Amino acid sequence: MATYEDIYGKRVKEFDSDPTLTSSYEGQVWYDKSTGVLKSVVSFDSFTSSTPYTTGRRSFGSSGTQTANLIYAGSTGSASNATEEYNGSGWTTGGNFGSSGYTVRGMGTQTAALSAGLFTPGGFNSATYKYDGTSWTSAGALPANRASMGTAGTQTAGLAFGGSTGPAYVNTGNSTYEYDGSSWTAGNNLNTGRTYLGGFGTQTAAAGCGGYTGSPNNTTTTGATEEYDGTNWSTSGSMNTARRAFATSGIQTAGLAFGGTTGSNSSAAEKYDGSTWATSSATLGTATRNNGGSPAGTQSAAISTEGGSSPYGAKTEEFNASINTFTAAAWASGGTLPITMRQNMSFGTQTAAINCGGYAPPGTKDDSLSYDGTSWTATPDLNAAARFGGVAGTQGAGLQFSGIQPDSTLSANVQSWNGSTWSNNPYNVSTGTYGNMGCGTQSAALKLGGAAPPPTNTLATTEEYDGEGWTAGGTMPNPRYGGGGNGLQTTCVFAGGDDSVGPPSTSTTSAEYDGTSWTAGGSLNDARGSGAMGAGASSDSALVFGGAPAQSFNEGYDGTSFSTRPSLATGRGFSGGNGIATAALIVAGGPPSGTTTNVEEFTGETETITSKTLTTS
């Protein structure tokens, strides 16, 4: 029998333990002496949870790739025209679809999408629409009213086939229509008419698969597959599991189908190689039908957006065929704070933080505690108790400035932390405030906005600290207090909070600072009240989370727009928040009243190359 060396010209290497793995190890085999097994780095399939989209629905259209996806229209219990965009991490609101309706199918990319077929409250519809990344416009009508079609291609070379013709979802169609960027023309018919089928590929090299073939009542589900060459359809290998109302990704010679229903919701995925289907080892975390896919995606990088039945889910799952193991972004419980509080302040990193001050009955606190990523340890107290002020710096060198003092007066005091003790800083801020935001380092800090007693109330002022005093910085675009601020003195962003003291006036706006002046940033998807927290190293990598009253919503910022991230397990405001966009910390807090000791840690999505055991000795 041939040996490994005979076949590959190399001997199997021995290691005392797994080597530090890189992509160069893909396909290589080695012997791990510590465990007595042969190992290799091989590609494998997986679905990983990502941030849910905002509004659960079914039978919506989808376009784009895994990291630039688009969903639109659908049914939330009633017909919707909402559009949402995915950037690989979270979702934002897009321009409204041209009509409220569902059982729409799509093709193309996030910035050049095309829809085909639609059911509106008035019945089956021939309208189609195209999207430019901002807004939808009419794209010319199909030759006939259709819904639940299979689709493939691009915005300028689209293909739509099969589908329901009405007057109810009992008839199936075998028609094929081609789009040239402005109008649709008829092509040759499918061999088997069907509805709720899948499609992938291009206008001249497409595949159609699965769906309903029966009429009336659509009782017959098929796994039949046909290929289109730009002129004719030909029969190919059938799916392993007949299904309908599922999502797809890929091209004619490398396609992917997942979800759908076989009579009950499915979690299975199948791969197509241009002639035959093979069941993937990966399954969706949540079985679903009427889900969305990634028409411009690939067989090895796709997305599934949950559909289902009422109440409709909104889960997002990413499919990868890769040598990497993907771990979804998520919040997890951290070490419990020994003291219950809200309006506390924290700075540093997720694994090296200081939490100081705060409020709990009977009043304002001077406590200070250090966090090592696992547990909290008491440190010397603040020199002066304070709450709802600003902080900056690291676990070894920090600042606390302004806030509310025990007698309810507003402080202009600054306190310095040197890693072991607090001391009074000789350089006070210009005005005592509360609800002000802080960021930066101990020697290059920013104090942003806040509120002062009437008649001043909410402020738009910025103050910069250089280690030897505070000077006025650029004026903020709007007065604000209680928002989420993060970053450095020369590159920071703040978002949310309240525009004025008194009745709720929560904001969705953000602004970025470059060390001299402020410019408007992207809008939050969800307004959040005072007590919102932030984490991040710069204005193009940030998180904003929490806020009153008891918000759990979490959003990430990439320097242009905010998109959703996994929510907090426990909604709250008036917390301590620190860290970076991929490793954040939220400490204690509460609704407008009440306090907690709860701590949560956020970790962004990670990719790790993982070795696989081939055999045992």
Question: Does the fold of domain 335-603 match that of domain 46-328?
Answer: yes
Section 442-461 average pLDDT: 91
Which phi and psi (to 5°) does residue 356 adopt? -140, 155
Q: Which residue has the higher pLDDT, 458 or 34?
A: 458
Quick one: DSSP state of residue 581?
A: T
Q: Per residue in 491-503, pLDDT tens?
A: 999 999 988 776 6
Q: Per residue in 323-373, pLDDT tens?
A: 888 899 999 999 999 999 999 999 999 999 999 999 999 999 999 999 999
- How far apart CA 310 and CA 138 sit, in angstroms, is 30
- How far apart CA 513 and CA 556 sit, in angstroms, is 17
Section 519-547 average pLDDT: 92
Residue bearing tokens 């409250």: 121
β-pair type (61-64, 397-404): unpaired
- How far apart CA 544 and CA 522 sit, in angstroms, is 12
The number of beta carbons lying within 10 Å of the beta carbon of residue 182 is: 9
Contact 173, 162 (CB under 8 A): yes
326 is written with which tokens? 């993907």
Quick one: DSSP state of residue 434?
A: B
- How far apart CA 151 and CA 477 sit, in angstroms, is 46
Quick one: DSSP state of residue 23?
A: G
β-pair type (29-32, 13-15): parallel
Section 292-310 average pLDDT: 95
Is residue 527 scored above 50 in pLDDT?
Answer: yes
Per-residue model confidence (pLDDT) at position 617: 44
Q: Per residue in 190-214, pLDDT tens?
A: 999 999 999 999 999 999 999 988 7
150 is written with which tokens? 């299979």
Per-residue confidence band for 226, with pLDDT thresholds at 50, 70 and 90: very high
Q: Domain 46-328 maps to which CATH number in 2.30.30.140, 2.120.10.80, 2.60.40.3500, 2.60.40.790?
A: 2.120.10.80
Residue 389's DSSP bridge partners are none
Per-residue confidence band for 84, with pLDDT thresholds at 50, 70 and 90: very high
Is residue 170 scored above 60 in pLDDT?
Answer: no
Contact 510, 519 (CB under 8 A): no
Per-residue model confidence (pLDDT) at position 4: 60
Task: Return the amino acid letter for 56.
Answer: G
Is residue 608 scored above 80 in pLDDT?
Answer: yes
Considering only CA atoms, which of 334, 370, 328 is closest in space to residue 601? 334
The number of beta carbons lying within 10 Å of the beta carbon of residue 483 is: 33
- Mean pLDDT in the chain? 92
Q: Per residue in 120-155, pLDDT tens?
A: 998 899 999 999 999 999 999 999 999 999 999 999
DSSP string of 197-224, one letter each residue: -EEEEETTEEEEEEEE--SSTT--EEEE
Q: Which residue has the higher pLDDT, 10 or 31?
A: 31
Superfamily, domain 335-603: Kelch-type beta propeller (2.120.10.80)
Per-residue model confidence (pLDDT) at position 217: 52
Is residue 19 scored above 80 in pLDDT?
Answer: no
- How far apart CA 112 and CA 150 sit, in angstroms, is 18
Name the percent of the chain lying above pLDDT 90: 80
Per-residue model confidence (pLDDT) at position 102: 96
415 is written with which tokens? 């306190």
Per-residue model confidence (pLDDT) at position 453: 83
Contact 213, 225 (CB under 8 A): no
CA quadruple 603, 605, 606, 607: dihedral, nearest 10: 170
Contact 563, 556 (CB under 8 A): yes
Burial grade of 202 (CB within 10 A; 0-12, 13-18, 19 or more): middle
Per-residue model confidence (pLDDT) at position 13: 78
Per-residue confidence band for 422, with pLDDT thresholds at 50, 70 and 90: very high
Is residue 168 scored above 70 in pLDDT?
Answer: no
- How far apart CA 397 and CA 61 sit, in angstroms, is 52
- How far apart CA 260 and CA 276 sit, in angstroms, is 19
Per-residue model confidence (pLDDT) at position 29: 80
Q: Which residue has the higher pLDDT, 12 or 43?
A: 43
Q: Per residue in 65-79, pLDDT tens?
A: 999 999 999 999 999
Strands (E), 293-367: 301-305, 316-322, 324-327, 330-333, 345-348, 353-356, 359-360, 363-364
- How far apart CA 176 and CA 179 sit, in angstroms, is 10
Residue 30's DSSP bridge partners are 13, 39
Per-residue model confidence (pLDDT) at position 393: 98
Which phi and psi (to 5°) does residue 382 adopt? -55, 150
DSSP string of 51-109, one letter each residue: PPPSS--BS-EEEE-SSSEEEE--BSSSBB--EEEE-SS-EEE-PPPSSSBBS-EEEEE
Distance set, CA 188 to CA 176, 193, 612 (Å): 6, 12, 48
The number of beta carbons lying within 10 Å of the beta carbon of residue 12 is: 13
Residue bearing tokens 């079914």: 58
Domain ranges of the chain: 4-42, 46-328, 335-603
